Amino acid sequence: MKILGIETSCDETAVAIVDDQKNILSHIINSQIDLHQKFGGVVPELAARSHIEVLDELILRALKEANLEFKDIDAFAATSGPGLIGGVIVGMMAAKTLASVFKKPFIAVNHLEAHALTARLTNNVEFPYLLLLISGGHCQILMANDLGSYQKLGETIDDALGECFDKIAQMLGLPYPGGPAVEKLAKEGDEKRFNFPRPLIDLKDKNHLCDFSFSGLKTAVRREIEKLTGEEFSHFTSPQKISAKDKADICASFQRVVCNIIVNRLSHVDLQGKTVKNLVIAGGVAANRYIFSALQNWANQRDLTVIAPPIKLCTDNAAMISWVGVEKLQRGIFDQLNFKPKARWEIDTA
Ligand code: KG4
Ligand code: ZN
């Protein structure tokens, strides 16, 4: 079984073909980073236009790379939400059209479920597993019970973790996307220099013990920058006034407190008597090796194995979309051609 998957929900146009033996036969990603970099974030309309411009050619390249023709594909899968709706529509319409023309099933994929299941493609992880989904748009702790069955145990009440990395990078004048830049600079910094707050941690409300909040942390970083520069924060002038050493120390101290928060939240998870062997980290922030090691230290004391897919499969890609297609089609699950694109689509309703 071979599935062609399309990902267009944010700023990557990606096409991949994956088979049911877990071979990635093609894996193409066209990043729009250059397009959005000068704005410090993704501009939805520009993203959608760029998806339209390149998608057809990427689909043909994916087939060529895999040495396949359209008739060899068993189903066409596309991210159908959640995401920037213009982009989602572009990818989903392409997959529906191919499905209709070649009389093959169309599979509507939830982008979050795709991140969640990647570890089953790369590391053969069995259900149930604990899942930390940390991306540019999400920050959740989930129990992955089965395909299509996810129980949310906690989530952010404000910013996503990736978004927080991106905003802090922006305040420091680092390039977009901010996560990799913050991780790199943090390696040179003193992680104990700044004592940033851990929002929600002291709140003993038992309904929120696994929830996250990052907006206060972001504000604390801004205040620290104001103390260092001696003036009110401005995106235009402040980054240039912070020394390289101060920037590195802020990144390192920020990452340390983030790990501290994640570990604290995970420690409150109630496994409800389930035998869980793995903690899977998914989403773009799962590419962060510092966070990975911190989680490994924590998990080692609890007989849990931490699994993060290889970096190129942590950030947005289409192999993860094809893989959900494989898992669904293996169970006879596919969608109708009138499936509506969804800007919002919770994983626990996927
Ligand atoms: O999953 P993803 O590619 O897109 C979404 O679906 O959101 O995640 C992108 C996010 C960005 O916020 C980016 O800064 C962050 O993942 N990211 C990282 C790293 N690599 C990417 N954050 C921290 N450390 C990294 N190494
Ligand atoms: Zn993503």
Q: What percent of the chain has pLDDT over 90?
A: 89
Distance 168 CA to ligand 2 centre (A): 19
249 touches ligand 1 (CB under 6 Å): no
Per-residue confidence at 37, pLDDT binned at 50, 70, 90?
A: confident
pLDDT tier at 38, thresholds 50, 70, 90 = confident
Question: Contact 196/217 with Cβ under 8 angstroms?
Answer: yes
- Write down the mean pLDDT value for the chain: 95
Residue 104: predicted pLDDT: 98
Distance 285 CA to ligand 1 centre (A): 4
Residue 200: which pLDDT band, with cuts at 50, 70 and 90? confident
CA distances to 55, 151, 174 from 46, in Å: 14, 35, 22
Mind giving me the DSSP string for 108-156? EEEHHHHHHHHHHHHH-PPSSEEEEEE-SS-EEEEEEEETTEEEEEEEB
Query: Residues 217-236: pLDDT tens digits?
Result: 999 999 999 999 999 999 99
Task: State the pLDDT at residue 329.
Answer: 98
What is the pTM for the complete model shown? 0.94
Residue nearest to atom 22 of ligand 1 (CA): 179
In this predicted structure, the answer to whether residue 176 has a pLDDT above a threshold of 90 is: no
Give yes or no for residue 350 having a pLDDT over 80: no
What is the Å distance from ligand 2's center to 285 Cα? 9
> Which pLDDT score is estimated for 209?
94
Q: Which ligand is nearest to the CA of 285?
A: 1
Q: How confident is the model at residue 280 (pLDDT cuts 50, 70, 90)?
A: very high
Percentage of the chain exceeding pLDDT 70: 100
Greater confidence, 228 or 40?
Answer: 228
CA–centroid distance, 284 to ligand 1, in Å, is: 3
Residue nearest to atom 23 of ligand 1 (CA): 179
Mutate to test the pocket of ligand 1, among 110, 139, 165 (most ligand atoms within 8 A of CB): 165
Q: Is the CB of 189 under 6 A from ligand 1?
A: no
Yes or no: say if 63 and 28 are a contact pair by the CB < 8 Å rule: no
pLDDT at residue 203 in the model: 80
In which band, very low, low, confident or very high, does the pLDDT at 99 lie, cut at 50, 70 and 90? very high
* CA angle, 10 then 12 then 15, to 5°: 120
Rounded to an integer, the average pLDDT of 118-122 is 97
Instruction: Round to whole Å and give the CA distance between 21 and 125.
Output: 14
Task: Provide the pLDDT for residue 201.
Answer: 85
Cα(70) to centroid(ligand 1), Å? 32
What does the pLDDT read at residue 89? 98
Q: What is the largest CA-CA distance in the chain?
A: 65
pLDDT, tens digit, 9 for 90 and up, residues 138-159: 999 999 999 999 999 999 999 9
Q: How far is the CA of 320 from the centre of ligand 2 (A)?
A: 10
195 C-alpha to ligand 1 centroid (Å)? 24
Strand partners, 306: 279
Q: Is the pLDDT of residue 66 over 80?
A: yes
Determine contact, residues 22/94, Cβ cutoff 8 Å.
no
- Please give the number of the atom of ligand 1 that sits closest to the Cα of 138: 7
Which spans in the chain are helix H? 33-37, 44-66, 85-101, 111-123, 161-171, 178-186, 215-229, 238-241, 244-267, 289-300, 311-314, 319-330
Ligand closest to the CA atom of residue 138: 1
Nearest CA to ligand 1 atom 7: 136
Q: Which residues contact 192 (CB under 8 A, 6 or more apart)?
A: 253, 256
Query: Using a 6 Å cutoff on CB, does residue 309 contact ligand 1?
Result: no
